[in-house]
Amino acid sequence: MSALALDRQIRPIYDALDTGSNKSAIVACNKLLKKHPKNDLIKSLKALALIRSQKVEEALVICDEVLESKPTHDGVLTAMMHVLRGLGRHNDMVTMFEEAYKKQPANEDLGAQTFFANVRASHWKSAHQIATRMYKQFQEERYLYWSVISAVLQAKDTSTPPAMRPILYKLAHRLITSSSTLSYSTADRFHLHLSLLRELQLYDEAEKLLTSDVGKNICATSLSCNEVRRDIWLQQGLTQQEGERAERLIVENRDRNWLEFLAVLDATFVPTSSISEANQNGSGSEDRIKHSEELFSRIAADDGLKDRSGSLALLELEKRARTHGLSKDPSRMLMIMQQYFEKFGDKACCFEDLKPYLELEADDLKQWISFLEGVPTSFTTVSELRRLINSYKIIRHGLPKSEITVEKELARVEKYTKYYFAGLSLGAGLPSTELQPVDDLVLLAGNTFVNLWTLTNDDSHLLSAVYVLEFALTKSKQCFLARLILIRIYRLLCAPALALDHYRAMQIKQVQHDTLSHLILSRASTFSLASTGDLTLATECLESTQIYLSNSQETGDFVVRAFTAEKYSQIPEFIVFEDRLDNSLQRDTVKMEHLRMRLTHEPISSDIIDMELIELKFIFDRTHHDNRDFAILPNYQPRVSQSLHEQTLFLGKPEGQGWLSTYLKVYIRAFQQASDLDDTVEEKLLIGDRPKQTADFDKKLSLKERLLQCDPESMTTLTQDEARLVEYASALADWLEPYHNYARPPPSVVLAEAAKQTELKTGHPLKGFEVSPSNGTNGHHKKDEEPPVIQGPPETVLKYFDTLRTRFEEVQSKSSLTEILHVATLAQEAFLLLVIESLRFKTPSVVKINKLGALVTSFKELYTPALSVLKVISNDLVKRGELEGSTESRKTCIESCTSELAPQVGHDFIFTHAKKVADSRRKVLEGVGKGIARLSTVYT
């Protein structure tokens, strides 16, 4: 058959893959393979279709066959690239392209693809070598710069020894200076050159580039190059020259970039050594402050209401003058702040602008508050309303502790809501896509209600906040800040379904899942109904992790595109972005929460344990980046009290690095003991590359030793009930460890069983392992040594569930519904950890051959009280759920609304939302209770 005819027959396979018809693609590949059994292109397309159909075992066999043939055909390489990326085998992809490039060294496109394969795998050393070879062979300038940036990225890689980094920077500098084309041919090449000179502190050479006409033009038009230039000047100590340059831009070019104003301010307050030199030249600190003051005053006068830069610079100048002890007029800061408020008090940003300068002395503070209280409370325009709102925000921010009482906070919230309803008429004609001018007043009211709840621990204040914020959303559908407060409040009220509704209404997308998913998924297993089959929160966990999958698949492509387009200033940013997402704290916290939910839904089996164990070990070896955004919450609480985030933090403890590390240790230990996998077996069975170990730990310590380490600081991030669970899990693991180690089959037996299962599934043996006759032991292995002496469970384990019963009775009588659920779900979790730890000893043959009958008998001492306590908790939760959903409970929720608020919002509106809160509470309490009952039955 001719190549053209074969191409026509292969075309439908590509079409099927493009449209997602993977089954059709597999059928078409099978037909063609009967005629062309050795065609690598058809094989690679079939492997791709199998990967997309989640048939990994079959795809692996075909993938290995194609790789063994060392392909060079462009179509085969492209298809295999997608296959290997799907399998996470980036190192094999690099090897494949390198082998192909060796066979066709004159193929420039193949060389570029080999370079890009190394870039995707972050193999910067190899990428540098390939780019250097390509430059020598094809004499194209961009390959030289590829080589330079690869050397720079290798120097920045955390795995590169510190002593090697200066050498790599010098190598990159030698390469860039050897180029026949000057670096300022493009802005990005110039940026790369400047960055190298900054790293090597070659300031004289940098000065030559920057003072050239081309260099000046590039810095004037490229913000990234200008940023590097500014850094170089500051590192040289040219703060005063930078200030003079910035002043010229501000005055002559009317540049209002705030960085230029900061440069002038920095030059005004140069370090002490520079000041002494300046004094010798007759230019003292006072003269420089006076000069800057005149400059900023002139700018503020010229700009008027068009720009705030000059006025803000005057505030910053006075603040720095006070910090350095150079301010002569004690009342000047107050005067400037009053002038700023009079000028820009009707801007929405006024409060945020003035916030850094609000720490005033007692007398100044009194005058400042008196000035703000003089703002008229009557308004007929949006400008007047905003001025009033800003005055309320500033006054609230500066409240002393003596002013934060229940009575005064009630008076304030009444005032905020009064003017909120009065101001609604100003936005009556706005389209639904616009925010209401009075929205900030309702946010102030929400903050105040939360503060009242903090002071009194009375849920009626949270319910009042719910009613007013929900009403505000009917008038201002796009007020997402109100939704943020509602999400936090609903979780405190034990109404997670309503919190989730608002979270979804915000339409979180892309990287926002990493920064904002903590709002709904922090300790989400407390509200999970996965044990009853409701996978709403578990699904939300999976949806929030899609950004991490797309990051691993797409960011590498963005880096490749940046190389192709020679956007060298963007490449390090893409790599940092990829690293921050790959090692995101929120990603792995959500993974832990999903695992806790999964164990309540799916039957606990060796397959789940093995799979989760491998993933948790990878997580444990990461250095995490905390990308979560807490500052987005609209915080209008007084400066002397806790922030809104701290007040509404679920259970009062953050899910941070310490929390994650502690829970990882608990589950890795439990899964390790229940699993037959050790490092040898894991290495053989692992599909894909092993992730880099980025965690900073003592390399001499084994994983087992690291798991046993206890960090007191991490324990402070746990609630007292979580700390008790960790203590219980640790004691349980310590007790059962010798029996697990004794009963665990040797690696050869485990691999033999894995090979057998692989052959049954795919018809092909496990690659790299041959089953020998000695391996046929039916999963059991007779021990030469005697089993360890059977000891009873330790006191901590034995009495844990009895203590838990007392604790549950305590929280039922005193605590909030969230704490009741917290204790109940931790009891469920403790029981599941017991199930995991005892799973190995459920098989009678294992118990018999290892002579562990007495150990199994001792499990009854643990299961009996555990099941008894779980039954009590289950019944009590179901009863409490019925109570919370009753008419009386609903009536209580309605009556909690303040008398001033009820007429404005309306009885029907309050009734509707009170019913929603009550129904949500009932659903979660009954669901958790019934789920605990189901698990008690499943694992009896």
DSSP 653-714: ----HHHHHHHHHHHHHHHHHH----HHHHHHH--SPPPP------TTS-HHHHHH---HHH
Exposed e or buried b for every residue in 48-83, given b needs 16+ CB within 10 A? bbbbbeebeebbbbbbeebbeeebbeeebbebbbbb
SS3 506: coil
Distance, in Å, from the CA atom of 857 to the CA atom of 860, rounded to the nearest integer, reads 6
Q: How far is CA 913 from CA 465, 501, 910, 924, in A?
A: 12, 13, 5, 17
Low-confidence ranges of the chain (pLDDT < 70): 1-2, 271-283, 682-691, 693-698, 754-755, 757-784, 899
Write down the pLDDT at residue 276.
46
Distance, in Å, from the CA atom of 459 to the CA atom of 815, rounded to the nearest integer, reads 11
Eight-class DSSP state of 584: B
Write down the pLDDT at residue 494.
93
10 Å Cβ neighbour count for 542? 11
Write down the pLDDT at residue 686.
67
Q: What is the 3-state secondary structure (H, E, C) of 332-344?
A: HHHHHHHHHHHHH
Contact 448, 412 (CB under 8 A): yes
Distance, in Å, from the CA atom of 24 to the CA atom of 49, rounded to the nearest integer, reads 9
Whose tokens are 């008419």? That residue is 887
Write down the pLDDT at residue 282.
38
Helix-, strand-, coil-residue percentages of the chain, each rounded to 5: 75, 0, 25
Q: Is 300 left (phi over 0), alpha (psi -120 to 50) or beta?
A: alpha
Whose tokens are 């926002």? That residue is 512
Exposed e or buried b for every residue in 127-159, given b needs 16+ CB within 10 A? bbbbbbbbbeeeeeebbbbbbbbbbbbbbbbee
Opening angle at CA 32, ends 26 and 36, nearest 5: 130
Tokens of 323: 């910090």
Distance, in Å, from the CA atom of 629 to the CA atom of 535, rounded to the nearest integer, reads 26
Tokens of 30: 């099978």
Contacts of 702 (CB under 8 A, 6+ apart): none
Q: What is the pLDDT of residues 132-183, one digit of tens each?
A: 999 999 999 999 999 999 999 999 998 899 999 999 999 999 999 988 888 8
Tokens of 832: 């599941």
Distance, in Å, from the CA atom of 498 to the CA atom of 486, rounded to the nearest integer, reads 9
User: For the whole model, what pTM was predicted?
Assistant: 0.91
